[in-house]
């Protein structure tokens, strides 16, 4: 794989390798609470031009990384120390897991040479993080530091997005290796840049159901924004002229002034049956809002909010839209 090392005689530390890998992944800022286990990462981030935001509690760092990823669409990253630093970040990571938010949490750990010897703040971080992340692993040696960072980010974006966790021992971060032995993968060389597509037949069926329903409604979730489907969703809602609701995490998905939209705290309410509506066919189409267990969604990304969805529905909806607006 390509790397950005120019001098084969140069030695580079694990912390600086981590920073180079973060830079290659497009990370612009890390959220952290200063800790001894992770200090070399800060030096690397300063050299790479990555902003270091120091907070008062690790929970804030994890929530900030989650929020940053949701708002900007760029990868969020929090760096915390071992033991209580990592446990303090658990709630933020769990929140990102449920929200399918792409963020990386890097946690410190005692040196490999002190494994199972009661080193400072030693805890089984990987076992703790596995149930609430898409990927959780320990960096085994310094030369693999950048490679493992790229692997973690790849898992963040593979299928349904979500958080990853890397545990990096103190001696791995502090040790130095020849630059030519430490590869820094570039995201465009190992990860697909195209978005996945849904089953065309399923999309056609869903579009037909929505277009021909007598009482259609659309429920929008946060993944419309995450997958950059806002323009397509707005086009569809305006073309079909149907009620569109946004769940709590999806508020602000559609631009202000979209006439048929509102937000709701719960799912779209069912209409009360009346003599004139009891035979109607209600239909609610949910876009970018999770259903079922996150673990079952690890390998699937919601794609119904992309432009092909809107084109499919709008191309078959002219007569319905005309009827609905008359």
pLDDT digits (tens, 9 = 90+) for 149-184: 999 999 998 888 999 999 999 999 999 999 888 888
Q: Which fold has domain 11-190?
A: Rossmann fold (3.40.50)
Task: Kindly state the percentage of the chain with pLDDT values over 70.
Answer: 71
**Burial classification of residue 208, based on how many CB atoms lie within 10 Å of its CB (0-12 exposed, 13-18 middle, 19 or more buried):** middle
Q: What is the pLDDT of residues 24-54, one digit of tens each?
A: 999 999 999 998 889 999 999 999 999 999 9
CA 63, 164, 152, 35: dihedral to nearest 10 degrees?
60
Percent with pLDDT over 90 in the chain? 43
Q: For residue 122, count CB atoms less than 10 angstroms from its CB and return exposed for 0-12, middle for 13-18, buried for 19 or more.
A: middle
pLDDT band for 86, please (50, 70, 90 cuts): very high
Q: Which residues pair with 164 in a beta bridge?
A: 104, 135
Cα gap 113→244, rounded to integer Å: 57
Instruction: Give per-residue pLDDT as tens, 195-211.
Output: 667 789 998 998 888 88
- pTM of this structure: 0.73
Domain boundaries, given as residue ranges, for the chain? 11-190, 200-270+279-325
Q: How confident is the model at residue 256 (pLDDT cuts 50, 70, 90)?
A: confident
Q: Per the structure block, which two tokens stand in for 266?
A: 């719960």
Q: Rounded CA gap, 16 and 319, in Å?
A: 60
How much is the pLDDT for 239?
86
């Amino acid at each position: 794989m390509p790397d950005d090392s120019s001098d084969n005689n140069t030695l580079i530390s694990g912390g600086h390798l981590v920073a180079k890998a973060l830079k290659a992944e497009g990370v612009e800022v890390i959220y952290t609470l200063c800790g001894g286990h992770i200090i070399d990462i800060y030096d690397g981030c300063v050299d790479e031009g990555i902003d270091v935001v120091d907070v008062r509690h690790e929970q804030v760092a994890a929530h900030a990384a989650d929020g940053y990823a949701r708002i900007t669409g760029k990868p969020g990253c929090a760096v915390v120390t071992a033991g209580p630093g990592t446990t303090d970040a658990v709630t933020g990571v769990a929140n990102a897991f449920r929200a399918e938010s792409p963020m990386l949490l890097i946690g410190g750990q005692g040196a490999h040479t002190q494994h199972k010897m009661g080193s400072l703040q030693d805890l089984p971080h990987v076992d703790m993080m596995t149930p609430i992340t898409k990927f959780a692993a320990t960096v085994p040696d310094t030369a693999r530091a950048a490679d493992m960072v790229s692997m973690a980010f790849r898992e963040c974006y593979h299928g349904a997005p979500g958080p990853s966790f890397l545990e990096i021992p103190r001696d791995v971060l502090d040790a130095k290796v020849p630059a030519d032995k430490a590869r820094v993968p570039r995201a465009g060389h190992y990860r697909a840049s195209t978005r996945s597509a849904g089953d065309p037949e399923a999309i056609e069926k869903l579009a037909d159901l929505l277009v021909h329903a007598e009482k259609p409604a659309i429920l929008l979730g946060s993944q419309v924004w995450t997958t950059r489907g806002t323009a397509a969703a707005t086009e569809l809602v305006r073309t079909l002229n149907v009620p569109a609701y946004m769940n709590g995490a999806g508020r602000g998905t559609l631009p202000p002034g979209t006439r048929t939209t509102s937000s709701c705290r719960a799912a779209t309410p069912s209409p009360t049956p009346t003599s004139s509506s009891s035979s109607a066919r209600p239909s609610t189409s949910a876009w970018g809002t999770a259903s079922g267990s996150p673990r079952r969604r690890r390998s699937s990304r919601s794609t119904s909010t992309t432009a092909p969805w809107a084109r499919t529905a709008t191309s078959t909806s002219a007569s319905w839209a005309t009827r609905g607006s008359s």
